[in-house]
Amino acid sequence: METIGGRLRFERERLALSQPVLAEMCGVTMRSQRNYEKDERLPDAGYLAAATRSGVDVVYVLTGERLPGTPALTPEESALLDNFRHSPPAARKAIKATSDLLAQHGRPGDEAECG
Q: What percent of the chain has pLDDT over 70?
A: 85
End-to-end CA distance of the chain: 35
Question: Residue 5: its pLDDT value, please?
Answer: 97
Question: Residue 74: its pLDDT value, please?
Answer: 57
DSSP one-letter code for 109: T
DSSP one-letter code for 99: H
Q: What is the pTM of this model?
A: 0.62
Question: Residue 79: its pLDDT value, please?
Answer: 78
Q: 76-80 — which CB contacts under 8 Å span 24+ positions?
A: none
HEC string for 38-75: CCCCCCCHHHHHHHHHCCCCHHHHHHCCCCCCCCCCCH
Mean pLDDT of the chain: 86
